[in-house]
Amino acid sequence: MMKFLGAMAMAALTCLAPAAAQTPMKKVTIGGTLSATDIGLWVAHKKGYFRDEGIDAEFITFDSAARMIAALGTGELDVSAGGHSAGLFNAVARGIDIRIVSDKSQNVAGRSSLKLLVRKPLIDSGRYKTFADLKGLKVAEPAPGGSAFPVIVKFLEKAGLTYNDIQPVYMSFPQMSIALQSGAIDVAMPAEPSVTQALRMGGVVAVANDYDVYPIHQVSEIMYSGKFAKGDIDVARRFMRAFLRGVRYHNDALGPNGEFAGAQGDEVVAIAVEYGPFKDPAVWRSFILSYCNPDGTLHVESLKEDLDLFKKQKYIEGQIEIEQVIDTSFVDWAAKDLGPWKKK
């Protein structure tokens, strides 16, 4: 009888196997800028968390998060991993359905992905001594009205200057390192790992951190296109669950100060080398990773402060409040489903 039952069970599994194998994976396109804090997405992909959720993740690289807005608005891009921008708020004000759905990174005291870099010759010559000396200099940021913009404005305001006192230049983070070396720009506000890469190349000095003027700054987020958020809520939830698993795994790989530590740290660094822009593990080990909330919780007050600053600078064209942009239903579901995170 036991042999008979065993044979019947095997026959049933054999019949079911072809049907399971034919279940299609759901393709999800993800835009990113190859920032260090994309690590949660990279881990989720490498560890198979997306695959576990039936998701075929396709990564597409942009030179700035602001340039993803159009693709998100049309639904050509499902998910964006990058900083908020004036362009995002203007798109939502025009009725385009794009949603900030979870945290990706926050700069907090001691853990900042954004640094103000100045060419060393300007410091050696005495041309640059304080923030007041930013006046007249060429300052690079990824895009007009991007997430670095509020920080630059705060540095300028600290010295009694305005954004009109500098010469803004727009380029991708990796390009900033080269432009600083050549003298094409004077100052840059890149994100890690481009900060560390520029410092390793030499000829530049990090004169300030994001948190020096912005104690808690919500720098980048996961965003959904309206088409993705409404098209299949179950897939959108499962994507967030996979992402949070990746974020939690890399948080477990960090030491007390945000550095990659231990055996799991070696694994996560290897993933960063595989997916990220720099292939030297020493680059990834040489900086502190900014804070990525393991529950995906947004610092809403920081987002509101940035929106208010964009409005003050006349970057916002319509009527928009921060509540119109945020939708935490997906991350709330995923965090509840996974349960409280406890560092291993």
- Listed in order, strand segments (DSSP E) in the chain are 26-32, 55-61, 79-82, 98-108, 115-119, 138-141, 167-170, 187-188, 204-209, 216-225
Q: Does residue 274 lie within any of the structural domains?
A: yes
For residue 18, pLDDT beyond 60: no
Number of structural domains in the chain: 2
Of the listed ranges 20-34, 35-49, 76-90, 293-307, the least confidently predicted one is 20-34
Last residue of a domain, one of 185, 216, 247: 216
Does residue 19 have a pLDDT over 80?
no
CA distances for 266 relative to 215, 250, 263, 284, angstroms: 30, 11, 5, 10
Q: What would the pLDDT profile of 248-261 be if each residue is shown by its tens digit?
A: 999 999 988 888 88
Asked if residue 136 and residue 94 are part of one domain, the reply reads: no
What pTM value is reported for the model? 0.86
The two tokens of residue 153 are 């404005």
Same domain flag for 222 and 328: yes
What percent of the chain has a predicted confidence (pLDDT) above 70? 93
Q: State whether residue 289 is helix, strand or coil.
A: coil
> How sure is the predictor about 14, in pLDDT bands with cuts at 50, 70 and 90?
very low
pLDDT at 191: 86
Is the residue at 14 inside a domain?
no
The domain boundary residue, chosen from 191, 216, 241: 216
| Domain end residue (candidates: 216, 234, 258) | 216
The reply to whether 196 and 132 lie within a common domain is yes
Residues 88 and 121 in one domain: no
Coil, helix or strand at residue 8 = helix
Determine the structural domain holding residue 151 and report its residue range. Answer: 115-216
Do 206 and 224 lie in one domain? The reply is: no
Determine, yes or no, domain membership for 297. Answer: yes
How far apart (Å, rounded) are the C-alpha atoms in residues 294 and 343? 10
